[in-house]
Amino acid sequence: MMKALSGNRSWMFALMGSACLVGAAVGMAQKEKSPEFPAVATVSDLSNVFREVSRKAMPAIVAIETVNKTSQVSGEKSLPFDDNSPFGDLFKNDPRFKEYFKQHQNQPRRAPRKMGTGSGFVINKSGLIMTNSHVVRGADVVKVILNDGREFTATDIRMDPRSDVAVIKIDAPNLTAIPMGDSSKMEIGDWVLAIGNPFGIGMSVTNGIISAKGRGPGINDREDYLQTDAAINPGNSGGPLLNLRGEVIGINTAISSRSGGYDGVGFAIPVNMARWVSGQLIDHGQVKRAFLGVGIQPISSDLSKSFDIKVGQGAIITQLMDDSPAAAAGLKTGDIILKLAGKDVTGPRNLQGIVEQLVVGKSYVMELLRDGKRINQDISMKEMPKSFSVAKDEKPLDDTKKEKQKTSVNELKIEVQPITQELAQQLGYSDSVKGVVITAVEPGSAAEEAGLMKGMIIEKIGTTEVSTMDHFNQGLKLSKDKKNVLLLVRNHSGARFVVVPK
């Protein structure tokens, strides 16, 4: 369960262990009387909190074992003893055993069953358990082991691979459920506890702090992880991350590791996201997400100067999908989404979190910054297609098939030419793509440092949309007195804004 990344670092799902569960609110313990060592009393208070949270959480923790039944393997020898066995003489001369072995010798047999383990925690006393999707995905049988030793087989399994959240059901009455907290109230530096079964050695409690928020390391489609330095190892997947009130504020999901074990960086799904996903799974059996149908980009330092907006304020539209809610509402590339449904937008992941929980079929007000002016736009939500994706594979530019018409642009140190239908197909773009294609970039130029490459399509310069060479030259002319040129460029990973200094 490991995804290799560059630099010999890997993302490892924290599988193989049992889940951690949070308990009810815990009050601070009374300070011990210690005039000689006042610090001891303070440390003891914290220790007592850890102890009480762990004690209350344990009854709600479950271990999860999964079974994958492998296919049968034929042609295997089915005799229980070979010719060299000391017991062979007891069977080979008896005609009854000879006939039995003859009949069964070439019958297929099952290969050993493959086992996997993980964690989970009870969210409803009727038998609902939350865990990671990757813990139970592909399993033929999911066995749940309660903290008191009782074992049950899951009767219903519902998963959302996009967020890596799953809810399973067991028929066990009067379970101890764990309270849910509010992950949005967690701040960097807050104490947290993780409980699980690392490496299968038994239930263990580790402590640490929230190291960062809003992480997106590229593990799942939907990410907004809490990062923690509480020790999370293989075996913790699906277990909860707890605050000091004994509430679940995250689901332990993955670790960043060079060694295969704890390296000080763990990731947990925020419980606010998990709570919404689990509600969708319980009510509908699947997650119904709304979507805008746009490609978006955060406001970087360079872009903030070009658009006269604060860094991290809003998200800029770089691409519009056909037949999408955004296209129907008349949104444009270059629009900056400032608010949606009354909530401030602070970047792509934040916007995605707002959008996915909106009601499909309902209209909402979106506040935009367009050409320096703030406007409000109504937008009606549609359900996200299951195959929603905008990325394509890169294809190289074939120099032998370039159109003869080409313009050298000395200001940007690049060469461009009109995009034709034949050239668009050759480069792997759709026939409807508009703009001019970059055919050369001067080595060491500001354009190269900004990330411009041969084969990219320039769709916009400043506020000028580009579909012909005349539009391109007009956009350059309007940017003549500016220190930087703002370009909207496209490759097969999507579109993004680039600032090129002159």
Catalytic residues: 134, 164, 237
Query: What is the phi-psi region of residue 79: left when phi exceeds 0, alpha when psi lies from -120 to 50, beta otherwise?
Result: beta
Burial 244-280 (b: 16+ CB within 10 A, else e): bbbbbbbbbbbbbbeeeebbebbbbbbbbbbbbbbeb
CA-CA-CA-CA dihedral for 449, 417, 460, 292, to nearest 10 = -100
Q: Contact, 158 vs 83, CB < 8 A?
A: no
Q: Contact, 397 vs 415, CB < 8 A?
A: no
Distance of CA 110 to the CA centre of its chain: 36
143, containing H or E segment: strand 141-146
Distance CA 241, CA 239 (A): 7
Can you tell me whether residue 428 is helix, strand or coil? coil
Determine phi and psi for 14, rounding to 5 degrees: -80, 60
Distance CA 498, CA 456 (A): 12
Distance CA 201, CA 205 (A): 12
Neighbours of 411 (CB within 10 A): 13
488, containing H or E segment: strand 484-491
